[in-house]
Structure 1
């Protein structure tokens, strides 16, 4: 890959020397900064490209999406120049798992270059009971407390009303994206012929209070080649317990690069 194509949802142009691009999609209420340390943790041939959705961090002035179908359509259009240039994979965490899978499905449906693999973390298969609550189920204080309970918010911010006034509308709009998954164009889990022709590897945190590993296992109904890993940690295991997670992820990335598996601590069986 030699292009230096820049697109609005990436903070920089892709590396021209990369052998594989790894597009990373963040969780509800999060941002691209969730992946800020990943470039130093993956094989050197992999270019980590966090995708920044509008309405937060560096794109905070832009209107946010509330509909999964509209979001995926915009991402497919915005990222097309990068996705067509060479091999790519995607990691999606929590809400990002839904977004990454919908993007891959849209690309394959439209005849574009699909991913070499999808990596999905901390999210139940969409045809099951939703991983995340409905956008208007909780009042602001209840929603903030829920975010603290599963590790998505530092408790000190419960007393920062000014900060919560910024964060909670972002969270609610992202929850609306999750609630609209039926419009994301995902494969029908009841139709074996619709399953994605690629590797999907799903990760579940052993101590995740939101997501039961069995509901993550149910992603197997969306693909022809499914793998599952249980890793130490809660809902945000890549941040709280990175060692075992990256050991497993890097073995899979090395496989895509045609390289020997890197040495490292084994992940929990899964």
Structure 2
């Protein structure tokens, strides 16, 4: 039993990266990376976020310490793995999700899975820079177009990714991860919800120079309250220090208020 528990702990730590542990925090904020991304950027948020929040960042297979593992085949596989890894962290705790770009989908479907299977739901879902799965405004590529050249064109159009990442000689790992993630993202389908799926509050963030987004459509998936913010910048507006600071402060304030009103 002890050996199995240790093995599960190691597995969970591979999936969930918490660099700055704060077990006395009131909330667990779980951050989901963008397509091609790893856990490091969001894991560092824990360094200067208020003590009421402990930050956990999701690390998908095929990157960082999981480099030798094969990429997930679909969103269901990703969600199943994340949910299992998160259960020991979020059970009995107040927790919230933040997802950027592809991470918005991953956060949403993980929240939905946790609610339907375990009756657990984040107190708040924060999504960024991606229309919801049912929106007609989301970019959807034909499978024949999922080649490096077409993907690079789309990603350069949304903006915010350094040019070096589009050079397969300088950053082959990023190219491979990006293509793998976009195949999964492209395969996700969802109809307009006939009934609300979640009951938590949702807040959307997006960049003023990003391609047209239908962030308002996120209100369709919850019976909770909805809010939306447009911050200066492109698809990766959140990497601007002033925007990062705004998001962290907003999340912290929102979660602290929810603790007093719950």
TM-score range, shorter chain: 0.7 to 0.9
Q: Report the structure, 1 or 2, having the larger helix content.
A: 2
1:79 aligned partner: 86
CA RMSD of aligned residues (A): 2.6
- Which residue of 136, 139, 160 corresponds with 1:131? 139
Distance change (3 Å), C-alpha of 1:165 and 1:156: closer
Structure 1 unaligned runs (5+)? 261-270
1:206 aligned partner: 208
Query: How is 1:21-60 mapped onto 2 (pairs within 5 angstroms)?
Result: 21-60=28-67
Q: Which string of whole-angstrom CA distances, capped at 9 and with x for unpartnered residues, describes residues 168-226 of structure 1?
A: 221111012212323xxx7x63323x3311101111111113xx24x111111001121
Distance change (3 Å), C-alpha of 1:245 and 1:131: farther
Matched residue of 1:253: which SS? helix
Report deviation, 1:141.
Answer: 3.8
1:9 aligned partner: 15
2:234 aligned partner: 234
Stretch deviating more after TM superposition (113-122 or 128-137)? 128-137
2:111 aligned partner: 104
Checking the alignment, whether the CA contact within 8 Å between 1:41 and 1:246 is kept in structure 2 is no
Distance change (3 Å), C-alpha of 1:105 and 1:155: same
Separation (CA, whole Å) in 2 of partners of 1:207 and 1:173? 26
Distance change (3 Å), C-alpha of 1:111 and 1:142: closer
Structure 2 unaligned runs (5+)? 1-8
Separation (CA, whole Å) in 1 of partners of 2:130 and 2:22? 29
Q: Report how many aligned residue pairs link the two structures.
A: 246
Matched residue of 2:169: which SS? helix
Report deviation, 1:249.
Answer: 4.6
Matched residue of 1:162: which SS? coil
Matched residue of 2:71: which SS? coil
The normalised TM-score by structure 1 is 0.81
2:242 aligned partner: 243
Separation (CA, whole Å) in 2 of partners of 1:53 and 1:34? 13
Report deviation, 1:248.
Answer: 4.8
Query: How is 1:163-202 mapped onto 2 (pairs within 5 angstroms)?
Result: 163-182=170-189, 189-192=192-195, 194-202=196-204
Report deviation, 1:134.
Answer: 4.9
